[in-house]
Amino acid sequence: MKILMVVHLYHPRHRKGVENYTFSLVTELRRAGQDVTVLTTEDRPSHENYSIHRKEVEGQPVIELVNNKVFKNFSETYKNPTVERLFQEILQEERPDVVHFQHLLFFSVDLVSVAKAAGCKTVYTLHEFWLQCLRFGHRLLPDGSLCREVTEENCAKCLTHTRLYNTRASGLAMGLLRFIRTWTGLDLHPLVRGIRVRMQQRGKVSNSRPDTGVLPDPSREAVEEVRRRNAHILSQLGEMNIFVAPSRFLRNELVSFGLPGPRVVVSDYGFASTGAKTQERPLQPGKLRLAFVGNLQRHKGLHVAVEAFSRIKDSGVTLAVHGNPEHDPGYVRELSSLDPRVDFRGEFKPDERARVLDEIDVLVFPSIWYENSPLTIHEAHLAGIPVVTSNLGGMAELVQHGVNGLLFPPGDVGALAGRLSSLLADPELVRKLSVGAKATRVKTVSEDAAELVSYYEALLVGRSVS
């Protein structure tokens, strides 16, 4: 079976949740004999916008579409005729039986109807809320607070106060980079990107702080833009054969938004073995090794964990932070100043995962947005590590309070500090939760791939999927 896997970003440069899951899934599908090609986007300002490059990523065939995010208007962020035309050409070359969309950000929602017109069956894995939330799917308002009710007015505020694409000045700068590369062969974009990162680290540039001012009521034009976006997205997604939602929470929210409920199945992610040790973890009396693993960005709530940790003065508790500081250096710098005991260890390589997990007694996952089905929580359970996490969204579906971890109200520093203190004081509770974590059923990536193949096959012969 020929499968085209469409994902907004991909390895090796991008290694967040969606990218890691997609890479693992494609690896397993290809191992099982399926013919899978990945279509992704990348920003390469020194390359021609919308140019196409073919390459291999660890043996996987990848088609890379350069999208430098220089748009004429807001509508091109979700409906892009140039991308649609290029996608049609790719379909003619690849001739896939199935197009599996992992994400349409930086593409165009009209790829769905283009795929249908080409005779392809379509599957969409829902990873977060981008379809209903133009602010990159996080459902956070510009002031950083949770968007509990999605309204056109709230969305219009985000439209007004969020940078969704590059400015005309940025486009001119990219043109200069392309000119230099064309005439000298020098690609200066990595250098420019490195300079920006260093400026962020020194506090010259930062995207870490939310807009804390009082936002004015959105204009009628902004509300109308949001209304047009929502209507167009739902009209296109009506063409989708099947949606896969990894959590019940995500399914229910997006069905309420307008997705066709009978075509949205709930099926969690599959995981490869972490390789972590599975024997009982030795706990030293009076010692507790806490860790955060994930993206070092504000919506992941690391500041909540650091502030809670700072309230625990016992020298027996430690907090290790694993993540790439370059995602938001300003935020990391802010956190580093809160408590010098926090050990920022940087990002670890995939083959180091087992060692890192084996050094953790309890994983702290304090995300402040509606997480779907976090990969990190699954990986912790595979390794027998209990998780303390926010009682919110898909996180609350994965962690049973008192069984395989503990829950606390999202953003509540005092409550989290209390949970961590109780674990420090009671090693037997940590052991009990570790046993519960190890007993938690986690789907394997081979089971996940086999299930998806069964969906593909059913669609190809006209059977319904349920």
pLDDT tens sequence across 395-413: 999 999 999 999 999 999 9
Residue 178 has pLDDT above 80, yes or no: no
**Among 37-51, 104-118, 276-290, which is the least confidently predicted range?**
276-290
434 and 450 assigned to the same domain: no
Residue 174 lies in a domain: no
What is the pLDDT averaged over residues 216-235?
A: 91
311 and 377 assigned to the same domain: yes
295 and 429 assigned to the same domain: yes
Residue 201 lies in a domain: no
What is the pLDDT averaged over residues 140-159?
A: 89
**Among 20-29, 263-272, 324-333, 424-433, which is the least confidently predicted range?**
324-333
15 and 45 assigned to the same domain: yes
Average pLDDT of the chain? 89
Percent residues over pLDDT 90 in the chain: 74
**Among 80-94, 293-307, 344-358, 445-459, which is the least confidently predicted range?**
344-358
308 and 259 assigned to the same domain: no
Note the pLDDT of residue 464.
Answer: 86
Is 286 or 320 the better-scoring residue by pLDDT?
320
44 and 139 assigned to the same domain: yes
Residue 30 lies in a domain: yes
Note the pLDDT of residue 465.
Answer: 87
Residue 434 lies in a domain: yes
Tokens for 401, please give them: 């309070």
Rounded CA-CA distance 398/395 in Å is 5
CATH number of the domain that residue 318 is part of: 3.40.50.2000
103 and 249 assigned to the same domain: yes
451 and 435 assigned to the same domain: no
pLDDT per residue as tens digits for the range 324-383: 998 888 899 999 999 999 999 999 988 899 899 999 999 999 999 999 999 999 999 999
Note the pLDDT of residue 70.
Answer: 85
**Among 167-171, 238-242, 389-393, 421-425, which is the least confidently predicted range?**
167-171
Residue whose C-alpha is closest to residue 126's, from 108, 103, 142: 103
263 and 138 assigned to the same domain: yes
What is the pLDDT averaged over residues 222-245?
A: 96
Residue 274 has pLDDT above 70, yes or no: no
Tell me, letter by letter, the H, E, C secondary structure of the chain: CEEEEECCCCCCCCCCHHHHHHHHHHHHHHHCCCEEEEEEEECCCCCCCCCEEEEEECCEEEEEEECCCCCCCHHHHCCCHHHHHHHHHHHHHHCCCEEEECCCCCCCCCHHHHHHHCCCEEEEECCCCCCCCCCCCCCECCCCCECCCCCHHHHHHHHHHCCCCCCHHHHHHHHHHHHHHHHHCCCCHHHHHHHHHHHHHCCCCCCCCCCCCCCCCCCHHHHHHHHHHHHHHHHHHCCCCEEEECCHHHHHHHHHHCCCHHHEEECCCCECCCCCCCCCCCCCCCCEEEEEECCCCHHHCHHHHHHHHHCCCCCCEEEEEECCHHHCHHHHHHHHCCCCCCEEEECCCHHHHHHHHHCCCEEEECCCCCCCCCHHHHHHHHCCCCEEEECCCCHHHHCCECCCEEEECCCCHHHHHHHHHHHHHCHHHHHHHHHHHHHCCCCEHHHHHHHHHHHHHHHHCCCCCC
Residue 197 has pLDDT above 50, yes or no: no
pLDDT per residue as tens digits for the range 352-365: 998 999 999 999 99
Assign 276 a pLDDT band (cuts: 50, 70, 90): low
255 and 404 assigned to the same domain: no
Q: Could you list the residue range(s) of the whole structural domain that residue 10 is in?
A: 2-163+211-270+446-460
Residue 184 lies in a domain: no
Residue 380 lies in a domain: yes
Residue 78 lies in a domain: yes
Assign 144 a pLDDT band (cuts: 50, 70, 90): confident
92 and 145 assigned to the same domain: yes
User: Residue 76 in contact with residue 63, Cβ under 8 Å?
Assistant: no
Residue 441 has pLDDT above 90, yes or no: yes
54 and 111 assigned to the same domain: yes
Residue 219 lies in a domain: yes
Number of structural domains, the chain? 2
Residue 192 has pLDDT above 50, yes or no: no
What is the pLDDT averaged over residues 87-110?
A: 98
Put simply, whether the predicted model's pTM sits higher than 0.75 gets the answer yes
